[in-house]
């Protein structure tokens, strides 16, 4: 039981760090791609709803945190670029089509 609690605590700590790395990556990516602040896009990319598409949100963020601690910021950002960004971009294309067709608003 104690081992499970320690594992859960460690995963939460890694996820806390991973969340910060994800936020940094997304903010920099939005500024690079769009040249403007876009809080709504930031929220869409970092939300648990989006992360659930990849897996358990805590586990996804914990993986980012572990990569950061073991391999550094560049590797963590590369992981996000390779694993999360393509999924987000596909979702954004679908969202854009839905906006154009009037199926969703803003």
Q: pLDDT at residue 4 above 90?
A: no
* Residue 83 domain flag: yes
- DSSP 8-state secondary structure symbol assigned to residue 38: -
Q: pLDDT at residue 106 above 70?
A: no
Q: Could you give the CA distance from residue 96 to residue 99 in angstroms, rounded to a whole number?
A: 5
| Residue (of 10, 4, 29) closest to 69 by Cα position | 10
* Residue 11 domain flag: yes
In order of 18, 33, 63, 78, 100, the CA distances from 56 in angstroms are 13, 27, 11, 20, 31
In order of 4, 27, 90, 103, 106, the CA distances from 46 in angstroms are 27, 10, 15, 23, 18
- Structural domain count of the chain: 1
Residue 21: pLDDT band (50, 70, 90) is very high
Q: Give pTM, 2 decimals.
A: 0.90
Range of the domain at 30: 2-101
Q: Express each pLDDT in 26-69 by its tens digit.
A: 999 999 999 999 999 999 999 999 999 999 999 999 999 999 99
* Residue 106 domain flag: no
């Amino acid at each position: 039981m104690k081992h499970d609690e320690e594992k859960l605590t460690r995963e939460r700590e890694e996820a806390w760090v991973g969340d910060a790395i994800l936020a940094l990556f997304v903010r920099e990516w939005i500024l690079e791609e769009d040249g403007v602040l876009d809080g709504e896009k930031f929220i869409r990319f970092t939300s648990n709803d989006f992360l659930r598409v990849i897996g358990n949100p805590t586990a996804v963020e914990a993986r980012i945190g572990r990569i950061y601690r073991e391999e550094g910021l560049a590797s963590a950002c590369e992981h996000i670029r390779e694993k999360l960004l393509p999924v987000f971009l596909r979702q954004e294309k679908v969202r854009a089509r839905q906006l154009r067709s009037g199926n969703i608003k803003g």
